[in-house]
A and B are shown apart, each in its own frame.
Chain A
Amino acid sequence: MYSALRHLVYTAACATLLLSLGCDQFDPTGVQNPNVTTDAFLRSPDAARTWVRGTERAYLQAINAVMDNVEIASDNYFNNYTTQNKVFDIPRFDNQDLDVRSTFTAIARLRESATYGLDKVIVSDTVNRVRNEADLLFYRAMGSIFAGENFTAMPAVALGPLVDGPGHLRLAIADLRRARSLYADAALRNACTAALARAHYRLGERSSAVTEATALLAAAPAFLRTAVFDGVSGPGNSFQALISTANNNYQVLPRMELLDPKYPNRAAQAQSPLSVLKAEESHLILAESALATSNLSEAKSRLLQLLTLVQQRPTELVDTRNQRRGRNGGLVLYPDSSDYRVAFRPGSEFRAGLILYRLNAPVRVPTISGTTVTADRINAIATDNDGYYVLYLMRQEIFLAEGRRMSDLGMRFPAPLAEAQSNSNVGGSDNALTAVIPSFLPGETGMDAFVMNTSARTVEIRHDLNAILVANRTSPLIMPFKN
């Protein structure tokens, strides 16, 4: 026993000695996180430019979140398959809806990323500080525009009090003005101008909107700023996947069938750019301003100039043979042949030429702007109301698949309940937790509804939303230029 214990003590002593010598080289408890910590990142070279690209990525993700959700909330698209939100089409915007929350979060992430970049990163890495600051301000402003256009309210800082839509648009305007003053590049300054026109328009600030719109057209008559996606590492253009794959998750309203898909599925990992700011909006603002002052001839002239610009935009032959308009498992069958004629509302004339036959050969579709409105139709405008009708029809068609229609219809997503539950500055009974859906809009998926007669080859759309907008144009929720 003693001998054994002596051996043991000797062994333990030797083992301890050996281990104490060897510990530096062999430590099984040593664990190194392979990811980069915040402190290490801020000390690293090129941190600011890397952060700006990260913010651009957050901007692309915010665009995707907005696009995926607001287009089906309007009459533009119907979720005809099963994997995306199924209640926005109704429209029903619940403050507990995952997509309400994820869209809200995506916009907040963009804003927080830009703010962190401005407050911390460009202070730490000052190389190209002016350009980096301008970029971060621009991205933050776009986040504020997305918030102002699509949500009842949202904190302007993490865990801050709620700021309503107009408040976000004003924050966007402040950031854009500063960004424009910092940018050396004319195209980038023009983007700020276009965004300023967009923000002032939604605020109903007609004079400022007209000033910015006029300035943009003077500087760049065919201005276009797109979001450029990354087909290899992501984010891709998620809306492209929803409208250009075989399943056709999102189905366009039949009267705009010939304008779809705006984002073709060209090749493996090729991602279509998405128009975020374009000169067409300036024409639309100027036309609506003219109508607001009952200057019908100016409005018509502006719409004709708009039409000219639209006609100059590119079109492309797109192979959409696999898009079977609901015949591969969709909830609703859509017209799939060019012999269908479409009535915009019950009782109106059936128009031919709006549906393309896709099964045999590639079809030609516009990839930036397109419209079914003709010069003759514009010239035929005789009343303010008709002017507004054509204006909003063109606005809808030109901005198809650009995330603008939901706010044009006066709808806003609510702030998510999760924000109220986790932010002491937001009360659980705040009005902003309730969605805004104008009472004049049809419910029960009425906005996307139509009757298709396969024998008569006709499609009758149940509601003409543009006519409804015109009929309710005094509502404070829509058509921001009241005078």
Chain B
Amino acid sequence: MILSATFGATALQAQGPATLNGQVRDESGAPVASAQVRIAGSTRVAQSDDRGQFVLTGLPVGSTTLDIRRIGFAPRQIQQTLSAGPNSVAVTLSRSALSLENVIVTGQGGEIEQRRLSTTIDVITREQIEGAPVTRLDQLLQAKLPSAQIRMMSGQAGTGSLIRTRGINSVSTNSTPVIYVDGVRVDNLNTPATLSMNLGGNSHQGNATSAIADLPLDNIERIEYVPGGAATTLYGSDAANGVIQIFTRKGSAGPTRFSMSAQVGTETPQTQWHHFERTKDLLYRNGTTQQYSGSMEGGSGGFSFSVSGSARGSESHRVEGENSALAFRTGVGAEMGTRGRYTGSLSYNQDFYPRFRNGNSGGYNSLWFVEGGRSNAFGFNPDLGLLGDSAWNALQAFVARAEALQDNSVRVRRFTTSHGVSFQASDALLFKANVGLDQRLSTERSITTNEYLIHVRSFPAGTSDRGTIQNFQRTYAGLTAELNAQHTASLGPMSFISVLGGQLFRNDDEQVAYTATNVRDGAETITGAGVTAGADATLRVANYGLYGQTNIGFFDRYFVEVGVRADQNTAFGTTVGAQYYPKLGLAYDLSSESWFRKSIPTAWVSQLRLRGNYGVAGNFPRPFANDETIAFNSLGGALAATFGQPGNNELRPERTRTFEGGFDLSFAGERATISATIYNSLTSDALLNAPSPPSTGAPAQLRNVGEISNEGSEVRASVVPIAMSGARLTLSASYNTLRNRMVNTGGTPVFNLGGLSERTIQAVVEAGQPVGYLRGARTTFDEQGKRVQTEFLQYLGKPHPDKFGTMSAQLQLGSRLTLGANADYQFGASSHSFDRHFRFLYGLPQDALPEVVVTANQRSAIWLDVFDRFVEKTDYVKMRTLSADYRLPESLVPRGASSARIAFAITNPWAWSASSFDPEVDLSGAIGQGSAAVGGFNYSTDSSARSFLLTLSLGF
């Protein structure tokens, strides 16, 4: 209240008599939306709308400087003399492949130009987001972040992904980056919750629901991604895996604009990896999908707003896979006099997904049943190609019923809000405060009826007391508050941008399971069931810290960054004090040197910048892992106590120290760019959930005993081979290398991050080896097919690649038509295929072992000793999207509308893989909530759909 009173007093002085209307276009004349038009030296800012138009009101009369910026374009500053009443300006922006003048927020405390930074930062623009035919954030980023690897682990809607950047920094914390929406840290759980529906058996399920899947993508202005290391030092104990920040739209003042869009399409399975052609006919289909969305934005004076809503329904490519989503988002911006500005956003969404048994769940499990040859256990010939009509019909009927009788679902409701106030105390001093929360409620329910159990032959006909209902509810509430001050100053040839601030977040994660056994078929409630039971789990953590950073420029070409964050966290041990994360960076704009300019013309090399830095970022331990506790259970209806967690007073965050160096080069008349970075990071105090010595009988305890090394290079390039009036082609690619090694485990026995048991195959952690390498048995046979030697616990490959990257092409024809394509690839990784392994076991034709071996041995006698034969290289190149976007000429725009676009896109149109299975899907999630996952196991898991989507958008 005091703050608003203060700003209110200032606001009274804010109004002025001039109004400025403008339009921003690119060189081809196409309107440029989302350009930021700022009155230099104030918080007054407007944003161009879809027609490129913007309006600023209440401006003082006289000379003013407009600062216009848009990602992908060179910034422009325009001197404008304003007179009382309406004024107008036309702005043309030129495309710039290496836009180092972008203003970046994430990881900096305040706004700062990218060219002053020693780190690389990726920005995804609104048009990239809106042009992408995807429904979830990780899928959106999949081929758009040049140095990140993102794999969708299952084709079931709303399931988890594997996101990896700069290797694997932790073996106890998931590698998913932290995600902020408008400064609010949001739930990014990308693993099963502690209490959650497990339809993947005793392995670590790959179809756990991900909190990333239900972050709404409506009305996003831009997304910033910063990798771990010096770029995230200011996030302290929370950001060794990098940070993704989403900025939502706050609208732009002017007449109220409406837009509507309708998207319709089809989802179809990617059948190329199916072993049997008929698998598609049993489990998949061409499912329709549709999405309707609308938005409205406008404002007047210093107020702007943006409101959007969307509804999506999809039949899905999987039979019985219907899923849906509903989302609303509002963003507002309000000037508080000439010095203050409020921005707020609010979103609500709800999602519904079905779930299907997969992986190692045993019993009836559709993909195991069909692709793994398991149908033999149900009396069918597993070689589907050999089935005659009546056998095929019987199989189809059996599967259709088994699929229909499964009743597993996930329902998510999510509410996120953010409120920020900025106050320009003087030309040099800007204060910002931000507070917000993310609340996410997920409900998972699995109903197993007697009818289902009888149908899949788990119990005999007539069984009536085996039906179960399992409910899992998780409520996540995350509160974030941040306050900082940014000061800019100059002293002769030196310029300073300094930030001092504090940040706090608190997460309350409360989970409840309530289950029932002996439920009558038809009941969807546990009330009155034969036996009911419940359980709960609570994870709470608060993290708070102070940070300071200064960026010093010399002669506007040498830049030094120095920063530190001091952090405290409730998950630290009691003897552990504040943790400090320092960073130091250098950037050198070589192309600004006069001697450089004299010898190399701008047309040849327009920009050349060298950069290098050192920074530390952390990962805090699992909440409550520091406390020694007693565990309680019930035995015979009475309480039973035993050893809980051993506790660790010295529990600290993992600390990842990164050195990196590189350059950014723009040449050939701004038509080509190359950026290259090499990095070397070492995670010390790595947290290992180390098994206690067996003779103590104690459970595992998290300890800071490990050391993990990651080193690699990141190269990205883009070239504009065609740039003429009416056509512009941009090609981009990235190439990343990675060498990962577990340096030290502090004497911890080898343990696994995924896979099944030790005598089968696991992704394990062992000193001196890549994290999560695949370990299993290898057997050699002689020429007669007799076993010569079996070696157990052998290195069979590693699930992460040595090389990976992205590729994209964009062709702009005229000012209306844009064609795009993007892809990603990886080389050097491996996965084991249980599907293929089971086909071998169940006697289907196979090529893994010579026929002489199969003749000389019973398959069941050797199948567990030949894991090496079923580990395959997972090299792949996948085209993620193909798209065409056409802005209709005004003559074709329907009456009453002001603009119209039509877009067509195909997702997953094409892929090549070295493996016999989809190299992206993976059964192996994390062992425990938020734990590390490395993948490496193909096991009865659905692939993502291929979709064909047509979108029609109208602006009013």
Q: Which A residues are within 8 Å of any B CB, using their own CB?
A: 1, 4-5, 7-8, 10-11, 14-15, 28-38, 41, 47, 50-51, 53-58, 60, 83, 85-87, 94, 96-99, 101, 104-113, 116, 154-155, 157-160, 228, 230, 232-234, 245-247, 267-269, 319, 321-322, 327-329, 331-332, 416-419, 421-423, 444-445
19 contacts between A and B (CB under 8 A): A5-B425, A5-B426, A8-B431, A28-B479, A31-B506, A35-B627, A51-B642, A83-B202, A101-B694, A105-B697, A112-B697, A160-B695, A230-B635, A232-B531, A246-B457, A246-B459, A269-B531, A329-B842, A419-B695
Beyond contacts A1-B426, A7-B6, A423-B693: 8 other A-B pairs, Cβ-Cβ < 8 A, are: A50-B632, A83-B202, A105-B694, A228-B636, A268-B517, A268-B530, A319-B460, A419-B693
The residue in chain B whose Cβ has the minimal distance to the Cβ of A2 is B426
Once A105-B697, A328-B457 are accepted as A-B contacts, the answer to whether A30 and B542 lie under 8 Å apart by CB is yes
Check B533 against A421 for contact (C-beta < 8 Å). no
By a CB distance below 8 angstroms, the chain B residues around A246 are 363, 457-459
Check A29 against B639 for contact (C-beta < 8 Å). no
**With A and B bound together, what is the CA distance between A159 and B697 in angstroms?**
10
Check B376 against A232 for contact (C-beta < 8 Å). no
Check A111 against B697 for contact (C-beta < 8 Å). yes
By a CB distance below 8 angstroms, the chain A residues around B916 are none
The residue in chain A whose Cβ has the minimal distance to the Cβ of B375 is A329
By a CB distance below 8 angstroms, the chain A residues around B635 are 53-54, 56-57, 60, 230, 233
Check A97 against B640 for contact (C-beta < 8 Å). no
Contact of A97 among B374, B378, B758, B842 (CB under 8 A): B758
Once A7-B9, A83-B202 are accepted as A-B contacts, the answer to whether A33 and B757 lie under 8 Å apart by CB is no
Chain A nearest CB from B377 CB (Å) reads 3
Contact of B695 among A15, A96, A108 (CB under 8 A): A108
By a CB distance below 8 angstroms, the chain A residues around B134 are none
Determine if B90 is an interface residue (Cβ-Cβ < 8 Å): no
By a CB distance below 8 angstroms, the chain B residues around A99 are 757
By a CB distance below 8 angstroms, the chain B residues around A105 are 694, 697
**With A and B bound together, what is the CA distance between A28 and B518 in angstroms?**
43
Contact of B758 among A1, A55, A98, A268 (CB under 8 A): A98
Check B639 against A53 for contact (C-beta < 8 Å). yes
**With A and B bound together, what is the CA distance between A28 and B531 in angstroms?**
39
**With A and B bound together, what is the CA distance between A85 and B757 in angstroms?**
8
Contact of B459 among A1, A94, A112, A322 (CB under 8 A): A322
**Complex A-B, nearest 9 residue pairs according to Cβ-Cβ distance, in ascending order:** A109-B697, A329-B377, A53-B640, A54-B642, A422-B693, A331-B860, A108-B697, A233-B634, A418-B749
Check A87 against B759 for contact (C-beta < 8 Å). yes
Check A321 against B749 for contact (C-beta < 8 Å). no
By a CB distance below 8 angstroms, the chain B residues around A87 are 759, 864
Check A4 against B636 for contact (C-beta < 8 Å). no
Check A230 against B506 for contact (C-beta < 8 Å). no
Q: In chain B between 842 and 863, which residues have their CB closer than 8 angstroms to a CB of chain A?
A: 842, 860-861
Check B425 against A1 for contact (C-beta < 8 Å). yes
By a CB distance below 8 angstroms, the chain A residues around B636 are 53, 228, 230
Check B339 against A4 for contact (C-beta < 8 Å). yes
By a CB distance below 8 angstroms, the chain A residues around B696 are 108, 112, 158-159
Check A11 against B697 for contact (C-beta < 8 Å). no
Which of B377, B518, B544 has its CB near the most chain A CB atoms (within 10 A)? B377
Determine if B12 is an interface residue (Cβ-Cβ < 8 Å): no
Q: In chain B between 422 and 467, which residues have their CB closer than 8 angstroms to a CB of chain A?
A: 423, 425-426, 431, 457-460, 465-466
**With A and B bound together, what is the CA distance between A421 and B766 in angstroms?**
13
CB-defined interface of B614-640 with A at 8 Å, one 1/0 digit per residue? 000000000110011111111110111
Check A113 against B542 for contact (C-beta < 8 Å). no
Check B517 against A110 for contact (C-beta < 8 Å). no
Number of A-B contacts (CB under 8 A): 222
By a CB distance below 8 angstroms, the chain B residues around A104 are 694-695
**With A and B bound together, what is the CA distance between A116 and B644 in angstroms?**
13
Once A50-B640, A51-B641, A154-B695 are accepted as A-B contacts, the answer to whether A33 and B504 lie under 8 Å apart by CB is no
By a CB distance below 8 angstroms, the chain A residues around B491 are none
Check A329 against B376 for contact (C-beta < 8 Å). yes
Check A41 against B630 for contact (C-beta < 8 Å). yes
By a CB distance below 8 angstroms, the chain A residues around B378 are 328
By a CB distance below 8 angstroms, the chain B residues around A328 are 377-378, 457
Q: In chain B between 391 and 444, which residues have their CB closer than 8 angstroms to a CB of chain A?
A: 423, 425-426, 431
By a CB distance below 8 angstroms, the chain A residues around B633 are 54, 57, 233-234
Check B6 against A11 for contact (C-beta < 8 Å). yes
Number of interface residues of B (CB under 8 A): 83
By a CB distance below 8 angstroms, the chain B residues around A35 are 624, 627, 629-631, 644-645
Once A158-B693, A233-B533 are accepted as A-B contacts, the answer to whether A38 and B517 lie under 8 Å apart by CB is no
Check A86 against B864 for contact (C-beta < 8 Å). yes
CB-defined interface of B95-137 with A at 8 Å, one 1/0 digit per residue? 0000000000000000000000000000000000000000000
Determine if B896 is an interface residue (Cβ-Cβ < 8 Å): no
Interface of B is mostly: mixed
By a CB distance below 8 angstroms, the chain B residues around A41 are 630, 641
By a CB distance below 8 angstroms, the chain A residues around B6 are 7-8, 10-11
Check B634 against A232 for contact (C-beta < 8 Å). yes
The residue in chain A whose Cβ has the minimal distance to the Cβ of B5 is A11
By a CB distance below 8 angstroms, the chain A residues around B570 are 29, 31
**With A and B bound together, what is the CA distance between A8 and B5 in angstroms?**
11
By a CB distance below 8 angstroms, the chain A residues around B465 are 267-268
Check B642 against A28 for contact (C-beta < 8 Å). no
CB-defined interface of B454-493 with A at 8 Å, one 1/0 digit per residue? 0001111000011000000000000101000000000000
Determine if B698 is an interface residue (Cβ-Cβ < 8 Å): yes
Determine if B62 is an interface residue (Cβ-Cβ < 8 Å): no
Which of B423, B481, B643, B645 has its CB near the most chain A CB atoms (within 10 A)? B643
Check A38 against B466 for contact (C-beta < 8 Å). no
Determine if B28 is an interface residue (Cβ-Cβ < 8 Å): no
**With A and B bound together, what is the CA distance between A88 and B747 in angstroms?**
27
Check A28 against B757 for contact (C-beta < 8 Å). no
By a CB distance below 8 angstroms, the chain A residues around B628 are 37-38
Chain B nearest CB from A10 CB (Å) reads 8
By a CB distance below 8 angstroms, the chain A residues around B2 are 11, 14-15
Check A29 against B425 for contact (C-beta < 8 Å). no
Check A36 against B632 for contact (C-beta < 8 Å). yes
By a CB distance below 8 angstroms, the chain B residues around A422 are 692-694, 747, 749
**With A and B bound together, what is the CA distance between A111 and B693 in angstroms?**
14
Chain A nearest CB from B679 CB (Å) reads 33
Determine if B793 is an interface residue (Cβ-Cβ < 8 Å): yes
By a CB distance below 8 angstroms, the chain A residues around B624 are 33, 35
**With A and B bound together, what is the CA distance between A247 and B570 in angstroms?**
46
CB-defined interface of B575-601 with A at 8 Å, one 1/0 digit per residue? 000000000000000000000000000
Determine if B886 is an interface residue (Cβ-Cβ < 8 Å): no
Once A31-B570, A85-B757, A232-B531 are accepted as A-B contacts, the answer to whether A53 and B693 lie under 8 Å apart by CB is no
The residue in chain B whose Cβ has the minimal distance to the Cβ of A36 is B630
By a CB distance below 8 angstroms, the chain B residues around A113 are 642-643, 697
Determine if B255 is an interface residue (Cβ-Cβ < 8 Å): no
**With A and B bound together, what is the CA distance between A73 and B20 in angstroms?**
86
Chain A nearest CB from B780 CB (Å) reads 17
**With A and B bound together, what is the CA distance between A58 and B697 in angstroms?**
10
By a CB distance below 8 angstroms, the chain B residues around A247 are 362-363
**With A and B bound together, what is the CA distance between A445 and B201 in angstroms?**
27
By a CB distance below 8 angstroms, the chain B residues around A85 are 757, 759
Check A54 against B693 for contact (C-beta < 8 Å). no
**With A and B bound together, what is the CA distance between A453 and B459 in angstroms?**
29
Chain A nearest CB from B438 CB (Å) reads 15
By a CB distance below 8 angstroms, the chain A residues around B792 are 94
By a CB distance below 8 angstroms, the chain A residues around B377 are 327-329
By a CB distance below 8 angstroms, the chain B residues around A7 are 6, 9-10
Check B695 against A57 for contact (C-beta < 8 Å). no
Check A97 against B694 for contact (C-beta < 8 Å). no
Check B864 against A417 for contact (C-beta < 8 Å). no
Determine if B760 is an interface residue (Cβ-Cβ < 8 Å): yes
**With A and B bound together, what is the CA distance between A310 and B55 in angstroms?**
96
Chain A nearest CB from B130 CB (Å) reads 36
**With A and B bound together, what is the CA distance between A30 and B692 in angstroms?**
30
